[in-house]
A and B are shown apart, each in its own frame.
Chain A
């Protein structure tokens, strides 16, 4: 099934008890696109992303990721995606090199591949000198770039980034987004959540989440034109006050 659709969700919902964290969201993401989920804390972004990655099961609805059904074929989905969780997820007591080797290993890369990837990655990230330092010694911005790199080790076609720039200074955030553009230029699909309005402007397309629902979807320019606002921040405020 060769299409230009990387992710397709239809009426995807997730309940926790009586609480509806994600409420019948439907959307499509094209291959090579940078697709953003914008929403305040608690909007349901993480829950939505976890369903797409096969970490939790949807209560109802379905979704296709890289052409595979997340309900029935989650192990195939897992082979084709990379995921960087909102929580920082490298091992702090392992060195930079050991972290790369571990994540390479669990994706089944061979020793040779891991060796080459490690070398390439460390030079790309200018981390050669830090190779044998414990990860906890790295500044946060570096850690996040390292986490992103390890999530890309197995060359996935889609990468899910859950608030990748949380708590990072503006310069590091700019740098991080430069990398996201590079990834997209390689033809990979980037699915990114954020609650930073300025970051939302960088996305190719954007969906705005509010209380579990997608209340608006479109390119940043489309949205600004539609609501006749100068920035996404103003669009967002307008949308939230309306709902």
Chain B
């Protein structure tokens, strides 16, 4: 291996990158655009849930309970005292997501200390929203119970405390995930295009006829794109931190180090694809398909891995983003350190080396 030869390739690659300033702008702007677009569009935050009340009691106590629902940022009271026959049409037209029915004997029942029943009808067509309504209503009821039972303090109250993402903001959960998706996409795409472009122009042949070793070609090709990947990662994190106010509780250095590892995996992936593909277009399509789809479906970016069936859980372990998601969310939200994450770092390294090995092998074969 000769550094002279690698340096030549690296230098040339940087010239390509900086001379083609239009592409460079796209490379830098695309992640920004993606994060703004997805960060705002894909938000699972639940707000402005509309509901109706059928208050058959009409007592101060029942009004107090209703106030419990209206005095928070989630629920908006839309209809008061509708007829029972109107419930279903309103649900179907999606005008309301919840109905509270307070029985006639509400206040008497409270006073006589029996268990008092209040009916809650929830539209669970979107199960996330349904669960949320159910949980949050329980909380409202609890607060209400505390208020009216203040004289009997012995009662055990279950008070969930939400850890790590106390505001239940889905941006906090989703934006670190975008870092994983965008880094993978950009890095893999860039390398696979950089190699296939040289196949198309025939310059790769001119390099291969020289005494350069495939490892030197790969090294020379990958290093410039690692720096570009890091630049992209930094930009995305800055946006996450300052636009979306996602906390970064852990070490920035650890994020950088493990992001570097992840970029290396992504680049190896791009190399592996470009080694067996002839044109830029095919390389682009294959890279897109094989990075974006598994990452979105199986890595835990949106759907939690824990709730997947076993075979999918096993497959997800082979997807780089699965590990990087745990790493980046862990560091940013929980502030965990390397010792909690080393297994995932090890898994990433393993995946990276396997990919690089296949890429080098395939490269040798294309010469043959």
Contacts and interface: CB of A to CB of B under 8 A. Distances in A.
Interface of A: 53-57, 75, 78-79, 81, 83, 85-94, 98, 101-110
Given A105-B4, A105-B5, A83 B206 contact: yes
Nearest to A105: B8
A106 B207 contact: yes
Interface residues of B, number: 25
Contact of B205 (A75, A89, A91): A89
A8 to B, nearest CB: 19
27 contacts: A54-B367, A55-B209, A55-B367, A85-B206, A87-B202, A87-B205, A88-B201, A88-B202, A89-B205, A89-B206, A91-B203, A92-B201, A93-B15, A93-B16, A93-B20, A94-B19, A98-B12, A98-B15, A101-B8, A103-B210, A104-B8, A106-B210, A107-B5, A107-B210, A108-B5, A109-B4, A110-B4
Nearest to B203: A89
B178 to A, nearest CB: 32
Contacts of B207: 106
B211 A108 contact: yes
Contacts of A98: 12, 15
Nearest to A89: B206
Contacts of B16: 91, 93-94
A94 B2 CA distance: 23
B94 to A, nearest CB: 55
Interface in B294-346: none
Interface string B187-224: 00000000000000111011111111000000000000
Contacts of A106: 5, 8-9, 207, 210, 212
A55 B211 contact: no
A89 B15 contact: no
Given A89-B201, A108-B5, A102 B12 contact: yes
A55 B204 CA distance: 11
A57 B12 contact: no
Nearest to A74: B367
Nearest to B12: A102
B11 interface: yes
A57 B368 contact: yes
A44 to B, nearest CB: 17
A100 B247 CA distance: 50
Contacts of B201: 87-89, 91-92
A102 B211 contact: no
Contacts of B211: 75, 78-79, 107-108
Given A102-B8, A106-B207, A110-B4, 6 more contacts: A54-B209, A55-B367, A83-B206, A87-B205, A91-B16, A98-B15
Contact of B210 (A56, A78, A90, A101): A78
Given A105-B7, A106-B8, A106-B212, A55 B20 contact: no
5 A-B pairs with the lowest CB-CB distances in the bound complex, closest first: A105-B8, A87-B202, A89-B206, A83-B209, A57-B368
Main secondary structure of the interface of B (DSSP, over half): helix
Nearest to B205: A85
B240 to A, nearest CB: 34
A85 B202 CA distance: 8
A98 to B, nearest CB: 6
Interface in B1-42: 2, 4-5, 7-9, 11-12, 15-16, 19-20
Nearest to B9: A106
A107 B216 CA distance: 12
A83 to B, nearest CB: 4
Given A87-B201, A89-B203, A105-B8, A78 B20 contact: no
Tell which of B15, B202, B203, B207 has the most Cβ of chain A within 10 Å. B203
Nearest to A80: B211
B2 to A, nearest CB: 5
A79 B202 CA distance: 20
Given A106-B210, A107-B211, A56 B5 contact: no
Nearest to B365: A57
A106 B209 CA distance: 10
A98 B11 CA distance: 9
A237 B11 CA distance: 50
B2 A108 contact: yes
A106 B198 CA distance: 15
A94 B12 contact: yes
A86 B202 CA distance: 9
A3 to B, nearest CB: 23
Contacts of B4: 105, 108-110
Contact of B209 (A81, A102, A110): A81
B6 to A, nearest CB: 9
B5 A55 contact: no
B364 to A, nearest CB: 11
A81 B206 CA distance: 12
Nearest to B4: A108
Nearest to A151: B206
Contacts of A55: 205, 208-209, 367
Contacts of B8: 101-102, 104-106
A106 B204 CA distance: 12
B202 A89 contact: yes
Contacts of A107: 5, 210-211
A88 B207 CA distance: 13
Nearest to B216: A106
A102 B11 contact: yes
A101 B202 CA distance: 18
